[in-house]
Amino acid sequence: MKKSLLALALCLLYPSVSQAIDLSDDGTFKLTGFYNITGAKVLSGSALNSSSPWTYQQWQCPCSMQAWEYAGVYEKSKGFQFNQESLLGIQVKKDFTPTLSATTQIISRSNNPNAGSRPTIDWAYATWTPETDSAWTFQAGKMRIPLYYYSDYLYIGYAYPWVRPAPDVYGWPIYAYNGANVSYRTQLGKSDWATTVSAWTGGYTQKNNAYDTLIYYTTPTNESWKKILGVSVAANNGIVDVRAMYMRYKDTLWQDKPGGGNLYLVNDQSTQIMGISANMDYKNWLVKAEIDRYQQVDARKGLNNVYKYALFGFGYQFGEWTPMYTYSQYTTINEPTEGRKTQYLSLRWDFHKDTALKIQYDISKDKSHYPYPFFGDSKLLSISLQGIF
């Protein structure tokens, strides 16, 4: 593409290289922002080979899950909905010295079961480098867990070609961590390739987690990821970008008993997630691919929770227009299987500087083997105005 979407995203993540708003006369205090005004409508749907309406948890279906982290579900009976994914975010960065800064990202979401409509602090961290233009970067504070290729800018819709990254791949109950990370970037000899090696550690606890409570258990459910240890290796040459990631942690899932104490559904369970992504942005062609595996296995406890999920997409830019086809799927290997396969047709129109209009049509098939109707099959039409400032 004429200008890499990844480069645009990095401009927002690092205000020093973007047209940020100066909040101080000396230019050491800057503000950037982003927004997604997203609406979608379920056109049709069915479950267990029946098109009759059904109820899953608190949702009237036919319906379509599009934001697992915040339980964003579109319901056919409600027509076009703009209150599931729309959001406004700002990021402020203060440079204390040329090598020390602090960054805070605040997002107000139209749908946030854990905080209502109140803005939340998604990021709050400090960054230090040993010297200006150092290959080493150290960060500490609250940050997003870098599980996926688009993790750092998942909610900056302007940074990718779709209305949203494939929900079949993107979305877990815990998505942030309090901790620290370190990264090292270097050029590979005299080639065009550069590589970045990153490692992170920390933990996070979310009470009454929307993912667990609303989607699966209905009873207020808490989840904690502790002793997180992760590492990733990425390499790119300006055209091809590949990344491998591995992370392990201790997972605890519990509910508070009415009379006191806890009911543990999972307690201090060793868990690992690994993934590989490969992306190409060559001339007018785009190719996106990502494969991940979640594993939580303990024969003594009868646990055999393994998820496999993947996406593949390709597109072509015609001037201001970028049509794209994408396929994604996820499945568990243990019965009762939960799974889904989805095809996406998306069109991005860059009609104005730093602003894009997107339209997307999803055909999703529920491959779960539950004895009750889950989210079912659905056809979803989405439209979104997304931009940065």
pLDDT in tens, 26-68: 989 999 999 999 999 999 999 999 999 999 999 999 999 999 9
Q: Which CATH number do you get for residue 249?
A: 2.40.160.10
pLDDT in tens, 74-132: 999 999 999 999 999 999 999 999 999 999 999 999 999 977 768 999 999 999 999 99
Rounded CA-CA distance 174/145 in Å is 8
User: How many domains would you assign to the chain?
Assistant: 1
3-state secondary structure 96-112: EECCEEEEEEEEEECCC
- How many other C-beta atoms are found inside a 10 Å radius of the C-beta of residue 146? 21
**Residues 361 and 380 sit within 8 Å (Cβ to Cβ):** yes
Q: What is the CA radius of gyration of the chain?
A: 21
User: H or E element: which one contains 9?
Assistant: helix 5-13
User: H or E element: which one contains 308?
Assistant: strand 303-316
Q: Give 190: exposed, middle or buried? Use CB within 10 Å, 0-12, 13-18, 19+.
A: exposed
Tokens (6 digits) for 380? 């979803």
Dihedrals phi, psi of 208, to nearest 5 degrees: 45, 55
User: pTM value?
Assistant: 0.92
Alpha-helix residue ranges (DSSP H) falling in 248-307: none
The range of the structural domain enclosing residue 190 comes to 5-388
Tokens (6 digits) for 29? 């205090």
